[in-house]
């Protein structure tokens, strides 16, 4: 018995690609997972902002839905359904210290002062 088989693990089977065969490309899900969280610059109500690709898609669908596009409305409804039944992503909150947030913290009453 060889050393690689002592652990009870079967040997890995390697399939060789034939000459001329291409390596399989990424799956659609892998492409979406890579592209949707990327940030892009966009203008909304005359204000330039940086949002995710997914945010831009939702924004465009919302504008089309408001203009009466039934197809955009159906896509948004499907997206809402998926987000309600999808996996829960933990909420992440990042506090950024600035003069404004420090001033608010100084003015806010303490929890025990009530």
Q: Note whether 41 and 52 are within 8 A (CB).
A: no
Range of the domain at 47: 36-87
* Res. 21 pLDDT band, cuts 50 70 90: confident
Q: How many domains does the structure of the chain reveal?
A: 1
**Domain-embedded: residue 50:** yes
Which uninterrupted H or E stretch holds 41? strand 39-44
Which single residue is written with the structure tokens 């291409």?
Answer: 22
Fill in the DSSP letter of residue 2.
-
Digit-coded pLDDT (tens) for 32-56: 888 888 999 988 788 899 999 988 8
At a CB cut-off of 8 Å and minimum separation 6, what does 35 contact? Answer: 53
Does residue 58 fall inside a structural domain? yes
Kindly state the tokens that stand for 72: 């955009």
Q: What does the mean pLDDT of the chain come to? A: 77
């Amino acid at each position: 018995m060889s050393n690689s088989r002592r652990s009870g693990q079967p040997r890995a089977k390697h399939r060789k690609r034939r000459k001329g065969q291409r390596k399989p490309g990424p799956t659609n899900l892998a492409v979406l997972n890579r592209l949707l969280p990327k940030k892009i610059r966009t203008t909304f109500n005359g204000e330039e902002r940086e949002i995710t690709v997914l945010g831009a898609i939702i924004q465009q669908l919302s504008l089309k839905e408001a203009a009466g596009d039934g197809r955009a409305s159906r896509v948004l409804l499907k997206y809402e359904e998926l987000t309600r039944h999808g996996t829960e992503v933990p909420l992440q909150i990042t506090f950024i210290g600035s003069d404004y947030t420090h001033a608010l913290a100084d003015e806010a009453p303490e929890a025990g002062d009530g």
